[in-house]
């Protein structure tokens, strides 16, 4: 019993010593003037209004959110195999259908297929709700409430971009046809001459199919063999530049003016 009492006294003694210690006086709190207090809510409101300033700009429609540069790159580089395969297969199926049928027939068949699927699903959900005696509403209600309209600012933005591209193309064609630079005009003539042979071998749809296949195959091939492709492209570019330089040196008036 004496040992227990001595241990209890030892355990209580540090607590008593801590309680006997004089507590240090706390530093005085700085008094805030009323002017500063009244300015703080103004700063907060300013941040809030700055955060809400972005909301004032017209938001893009939901169906336009999918058209993103990064998403297009991921699609062409097969980051998501299922998504890229679905888009690639759908586009190829559409183009092959256009090679066998007219544009009107393909459009009519696609419209009928979409209408058949939506009407069948609508009837199925209506019958299911009648049997189960539920009131879930229209099955496409969430899609019917999606905003698909374009604002005037967005239309103006797209129109400005289209106008810029059109003006650039017209200026470039004027420069080529009026031989502002002889070398560039000769390059353009050679390109058109090569396209005559390409047009004799392939039609427009075949070239479009080849372009789609190249878009979905060349990026992934270049990503895997970038070093070798860059080496060969550099050699070809060097040879072409040397040939163009020799031709440019022999033709009078073909040298570019140094800027």
- What percent of the chain shows pLDDT beyond 70? 71
| pLDDT confidence tier of residue 69, bands split at 50, 70 and 90 | confident
Q: What's the predicted TM-score (pTM) here?
A: 0.58
The answer on pLDDT for 248 being more than 70 is: yes
Mean pLDDT of all residues belonging to the chain: 77
H helices within the chain, ranges in order? 2-20, 34-53, 69-76, 81-100, 103-132, 141-144, 152-177, 182-201, 204-224, 226-250
| pLDDT confidence tier of residue 253, bands split at 50, 70 and 90 | low
CA distances from 220 to 67, 80, 90, 147, 233 (A): 21, 13, 19, 36, 17
Please say whether the dihedral angle defined by the alpha carbons of residues 74, 80, 82 and 85, taken in this order, is positive or negative: positive
Q: What is the pLDDT of residues 138-152, one digit of tens each?
A: 888 888 888 888 889
Other CB atoms within 10 Å distance of the CB of residue 176 = 16
């Amino acid at each position: 019993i004496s040992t227990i009492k001595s241990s209890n006294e030892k355990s209580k003694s540090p607590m008593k010593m801590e309680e006997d210690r004089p507590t240090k006086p706390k530093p005085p709190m700085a008094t805030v003037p009323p002017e500063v207090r009244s300015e703080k809510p103004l700063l907060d409101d300013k941040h809030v209004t700055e955060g809400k300033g972005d909301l004032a700009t017209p938001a893009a429609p939901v169906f336009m959110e999918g058209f993103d540069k990064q998403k297009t790159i991921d699609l062409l580089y097969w980051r998501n195999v299922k998504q890229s395969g679905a888009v690639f297969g759908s586009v190829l199926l559409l183009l092959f259908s256009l090679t066998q049928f007219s544009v009107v027939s393909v459009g009519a068949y696609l419209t009928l297929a979409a209408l058949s699927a939506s009407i069948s699903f609508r009837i199925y959900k209506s019958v299911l709700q009648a049997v189960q005696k539920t009131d879930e509403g229209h099955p496409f209600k969430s899609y019917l409430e999606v905003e698909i309209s374009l604002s005037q600012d967005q239309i103006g933005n797209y129109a400005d971009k289209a106008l810029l591209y059109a003006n650039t193309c017209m200026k470039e064609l004027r420069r080529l046809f009026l031989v502002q630079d002889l070398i560039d005009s000769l390059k353009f003539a050679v390109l058109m001459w090569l396209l005559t042979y390409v047009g004799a071998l392939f039609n427009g749809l075949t070239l479009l199919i080849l372009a789609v296949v190249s878009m979905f195959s060349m990026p992934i091939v270049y990503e895997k063999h970038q070093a070798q492709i860059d080496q060969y492209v550099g050699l070809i570019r060097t040879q072409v530049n040397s040939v163009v330089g020799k031709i440019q040196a022999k033709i009078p008036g073909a040298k570019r003016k140094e800027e």
